[in-house]
Each structure stands twice: as structure tokens, then as C-alpha cells.
């Protein structure tokens, strides 16, 4: 069964990677899909994020990385996914994710949403936090995979 893990991943964190690794054990194929959202101004381009993720999941043979725009359910149908995987860090994530799951179910009744709780050691990590720490020159090696550390150090020379 194919699962889709969509998101902005700007940048991917160890929390995201935890969800991807666990989903890869549950499904025959996991597609990590970087959303191209014209309403947001990301730090990294979709292509850069795709490359960061690809390098970070190279050890997972059943994981593919792609980019998409538009409705997640339309992309899921196009790729033959039956499940949309969503990660939860904190209770407030659940409120937003549950609304999205209900909307997706209305739009595509054949798709299921699977919520995975991020491992507790990563529950405080968000992409926004990572970018803020990097901008201020703080250590980021424990927050993001090595390819992202390298890109953040290039973007913010003080990043540790």
C-alpha cells in the first residue's frame, strides 16, 4: 500500500524524519511530497527541500521524494496513495490536522488519514524553531539531518 506524507518541510527536521522512518515500516511505499505553496515564502525552494529530504532518506529504499502543488487529495489520487500520513507533535497540532483530515475525507472518501505522534525527543522541534535558532547562530546539529545543517550554515554563516 502506498502512503503519502505531504508537507512544506522548510526544512525537514529529525521529527519529520522520525515520521518518515516509521511510516516506511508500515507501508510498501511512502511518498514524501513537498508542497509548492504560492501563498508562503519558504527559506528553501521546493527543489532544495526535495534534495535535502532525498539525501536524508537515502537509507530508506521504499521512500520516494517529490514535489506537488494543488490539493493533497488530488495528488494522492494521481500517485495511487491510499493513506495520508500526518505527524503530531503537540495537542494543538491535532486540532488543525483533524480539521484537515475531515476535509480530505469529504473530498476523497477513499483516502484515509493516519496520525503518527512524533517521538517525544523531537516533539518540541518545528521548522520555524530550527530557522530561528540557525539565524541567531545557535547549534542545529541535534535538530535537523546533516544535509540541512550544511544548507542552513551556508544560508546563515553563524549557524552551529
Query: Around 56, how many Cα atoms within 13 Å sit in the side-chain half-sphere?
Result: 29
Specify whether 25 is catalytic: no
The helix or strand, by DSSP H or E, that contains position 117, with its residue range, turns out to be strand 112-117
Pick the catalytic residue from 49, 56, 122, 127: 127
Task: Compute the distance between CA of residue 117 and CA of residue 110 in angstroms, rounded to an integer.
Answer: 23
**Catalytic annotation on 89?**
yes
Banded pLDDT at 116 (limits 50, 70, 90): very high
Position 148 scores a pLDDT of 94
Per-residue pLDDT, 158? 64
* Three-state secondary-structure class, residue 35: strand
Catalytic residue among 49, 89, 122, 131: 89
pTM of the complete model: 0.92
Confidence of residue 160 (pLDDT cuts 50, 70, 90): low
Q: Which domains does the chain have, with CATH numbers?
A: 2-121 (3.40.50.620)
Between the CA atoms of 121, 151, 61 and 6, what dihedral angle is there, to the nearest 10 degrees? 70
Per the annotation, the verdict on 102 as an active-site residue is no
- 33, β-bridge pairs: 6, 66
Specify the pLDDT at position 140: 94
Indicate if the pLDDT at residue 159 is higher than 80: no
pLDDT tens sequence across 27-83 = 999 999 999 988 888 999 999 999 999 999 999 999 999 999 999 999 999 999 999
What is the number of alpha carbons within 13 Å of residue 141 lying toward its C-beta?
3
Which tens digits make up the pLDDT trace of 126-157?
999 999 999 998 999 999 999 999 999 998 87
The one catalytic residue in 40, 59, 61, 120 is 40
The question of whether 131 is a catalytic residue gets the answer no
Q: Report the distance separating Cα 147 and Cα 127, nearest Å.
A: 14
**Is residue 111's pLDDT more than 70?**
yes
Amino acid at each position: 500500500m502506498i502512503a503519502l506524507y505531504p508537507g512544506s518541510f522548510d526544512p525537514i527536521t529529525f521529527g519529520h524524519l522520525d515520521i518518515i522512518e516509521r511510516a516506511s515500516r508500515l507501508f510498501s511505499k511512502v511518498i514524501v511530497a513537498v508542497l509548492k505553496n504560492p501563498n508562503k515564502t519558504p527559506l528553501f525552494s521546493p527543489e532544495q527541500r526535495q534534495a535535502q529530504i532525498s539525501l536524508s532518506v537515502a537509507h530508506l529504499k521504499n521512500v520516494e521524494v517529490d514535489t506537488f502543488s494543488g490539493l493533497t487529495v488530488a495528488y494522492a489520487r494521481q500517485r495511487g496513495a491510499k493513506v495520508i500520513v500526518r505527524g503530531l507533535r503537540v495537542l494543538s497540532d491535532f486540532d488543525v490536522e483533524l480539521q484537515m483530515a475531515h476535509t480530505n475525507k469529504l473530498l476523497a472518501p477513499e483516502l484515509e488519514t493516519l496520525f503518527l505522534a512524533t517521538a517525544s525527543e523531537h516533539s518540541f522541534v518545528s521548522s520555524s524553531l530550527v530557522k530561528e535558532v540557525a539565524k541567531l547562530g545557535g547549534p542545529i546539529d541535534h535538530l535537523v539531518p546533516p544535509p540541512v545543517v550544511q544548507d542552513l550554515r551556508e544560508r546563515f554563516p553563524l549557524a552551529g
